């Protein structure tokens, strides 16, 4: 399984962009990069995913490097409610099903 | 509204007892999953099921059992063989219109007393 590496914690000022990095140097060609976030004692919330191209939705943008060995999740205008643990995940696809393998994630704290 | 429902939210169990956590989804998803999360840790996969009447072990299946008799339901039994069952348990599903994206329920807290 491709492994991801994220910083343990990050801080961001409210209203500023939050840029969360993720390394996935062993990613294979058909594996997607997924981002989820989890607020304490709740289920993880899907944010965005991508394969090669940069992606944007109403929540965030995902920038994937050309060699696909790393990516960055961007929250353009962070709010206090964006304080959460953010997980960068590489999708493992197997013949009997497909699953997500979670690492430790990044604790993002948005400060007033 | 469509979604994933886990019950109970909080559960206390005596040592040596089995307990079953319920997970129901009305999203018409084919695949369902169970994860375990310990305080301050990431999620670890227990079991997953791609179709009815079929399921595979995840990374930490020992001490757990599942069944998938209906598409909508994927109950998890925490048996007495699980040595450290106190944890936060998350059910998830994927498929249908969501494609490969996995969506999670709100979780169940299990405490052994």
Tell whether omega for the bond before B39 is within 30 degrees of 0, i.e. cis.
Answer: no
Instruction: Return the sign of the alpha-carbon dihedral for residues A75, A62, A103, B67.
Output: positive
pLDDT value at position A1?
Answer: 57
Residues B89-98 pLDDT 10s: 999 998 865 5
The tens digit of pLDDT for each residue in A7-40 reads 999 999 999 999 999 999 988 888 889 999 999 8
Q: What is the mean pLDDT of residues B32-56?
A: 92
Which of A11-25, B22-36, B99-113 bottoms out in mean pLDDT, i.e. has the lowest? B99-113
Q: Do A44 and B43 touch (CB under 8 A)?
A: yes
Tokens coding A40:
């304490």
- Residue linked to tokens 């960068």: A88
Q: Is the pLDDT of residue B23 over 90?
A: yes
Residues B61-90: tens digit of each pLDDT: 999 999 999 999 999 999 988 889 999 999
Number of A–B residue contacts, CB under 8 Å? 57
Closest Cβ–Cβ partner in B31, B35, B106 for A97? B31
């Amino acid at each position: 399984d491709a492994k991801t590496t994220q910083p343990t914690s990050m801080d961001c000022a409210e209203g500023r962009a939050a840029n969360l990095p993720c390394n996935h140097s062993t990613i294979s060609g058909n594996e997607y990069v997924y981002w989820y976030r989890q607020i304490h004692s709740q289920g993880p919330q899907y944010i965005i995913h991508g394969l090669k191209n940069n992606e944007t939705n109403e929540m965030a943008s995902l920038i994937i490097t050309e060699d696909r060995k790393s990516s960055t999740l961007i929250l353009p205008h962070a709010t206090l409610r964006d304080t959460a643990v953010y997980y960068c995940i590489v999708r493992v696809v197997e013949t009997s099903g497909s699953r997500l393998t979670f690492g430790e994630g990044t604790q993002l704290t948005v400060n007033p | 509204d469509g979604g994933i429902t886990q019950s109970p939210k909080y559960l206390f169990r005596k040592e040596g007892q089995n307990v079953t956590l319920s997970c129901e989804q009305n999203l018409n998803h084919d695949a369902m999953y169970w994860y375990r999360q310990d305080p301050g840790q990431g999620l670890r996969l227990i079991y997953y099921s791609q179709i009815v009447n079929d399921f595979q072990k995840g990374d930490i299946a020992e001490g757990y059992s599942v069944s998938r008799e209906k598409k909508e339901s994927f109950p998890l039994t925490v048996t007495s063989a699980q040595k450290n069952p106190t944890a936060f348990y998350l059910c998830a599903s994927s498929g249908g219109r969501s494609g490969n994206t996995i969506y999670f329920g709100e979780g169940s807290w299990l405490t052994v007393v």
